[in-house]
Structure 1
Amino acid sequence: MRVVIAGGHGKIAQLTHRELAGRGDTAVGLIRNPDHAAALTAAGAHPVVADLEHVGVDELAGHLDGADAVIFAAGAGPGSGAARKDTVDRGAAVLLADAAERAGVRRYLLVSSVGVENEPPAGTDEVFAAYLRAKKAAEDDLTRRDLDWTVLRPGRLTDDPPAGRITLARHAPAGAVTRTDVARVLVALLHAPRTAGLILELVGGETPIADAVAATTAR
């Protein structure tokens, strides 16, 4: 499987590159800064420089040529303002979907966030509220498309060692999950095509990843 990941230098993306490479899949990482290419190569990925805030849809579609799936794991990141939450967390996700449609790539995994289901409560930090709204807008755009999409909403992310045991469901209790476990769930979802059309929340739990992914389509 050839998988193109937007947000190639982020922690989840790099971990996903490693997981894919370990399975023998081909991982392609879209990066904004060419200085990050070496890190992606070390993770087993093929780096491609493409700034998702400035690249055109035709150029981006060209980078998806031959791909079996795309993953959107990009984000404006800490320290960015509300405007970049919209241009990256929403706008870039929409652009990737446009490019996937143009390139004929049907499988699209979107890394979103818990907490997007409802409008942020009064008193929520302005930038964090913009982040949640951007993620929800990206979800709304994707789920209206004729693509084989899956939306993954992780809980609070940690850099702890992976537990390998999770809770994965349409609605999960509040909790945390390691970034490595998120990467492993993404890869498992890619290889479970029946998870297309699902919105899934993810936190740490008691169920092995393979079993948790299988259970989402057992009903």
Structure 2
Amino acid sequence: MSEWVVDARGGVCHQCDSEYQRLAQHWSRSKHCSYRDVSEAQHETIRGCLVGDGNLDNPNDGPPALRMSSMRLPHLRWIHDQLGWLVRGITQDDSGAYRLRTLSHPTLGRYWTWMEGPPSNWTLTKPIARIWYACDGGLEWPGDSTRPRATWTITDDDKRQACEQALAEQGYEVMVWDRRLALPFDATERFLAWLGDPTPASAYKWALEREKYERRREVA
């Protein structure tokens, strides 16, 4: 059984002032109301989620919805804040995992191809990179090194190649082995500086000192 931690399902439609239980269902059935436009900032967040660990589904054969899961509730609340009204809510299941789900929306249909990897013409912007790194990135200290490097494990070949290319287009030297991408030490520091302040529940991923990294990860 899942329990709603953040429940944004019910409300009043701003177009017709009618009460609804499911906003997407109200829009799809109404003769007078239409799906609300998704802003470019929301699209950037959607792209960041899909490059990270988000996915799309449409169990009722209608417009798709975006789903994400994490053990870090503050992380999903931050994603919730970026997506705003598009989020239906966050639940917690029996395993302790938190799951965010958006409304079903026709505009999400353009992202079905992103499930296999970003398109060849995509650009790794700062908003996308912040979400991607907060979701899937991390730091590691190879061997006896006192400096970390940023790493991502990406099992899908097409997605890994697209991410490698996007990082390279931003001027980063990218190391590739097995199913992983990594940035050299200097590039890692430059990348984290470009991302800006740490995101909620991901501060350890910005900690360049190993002791601080371990300490922050324990409380994330």
TM-score by length of structure 1 reads 0.31
Please tell me whether Structure 1 or Structure 2 has the larger radius of gyration of its CA atoms: 2
Using structure 2 for the length normalisation, give the TM-score: 0.31
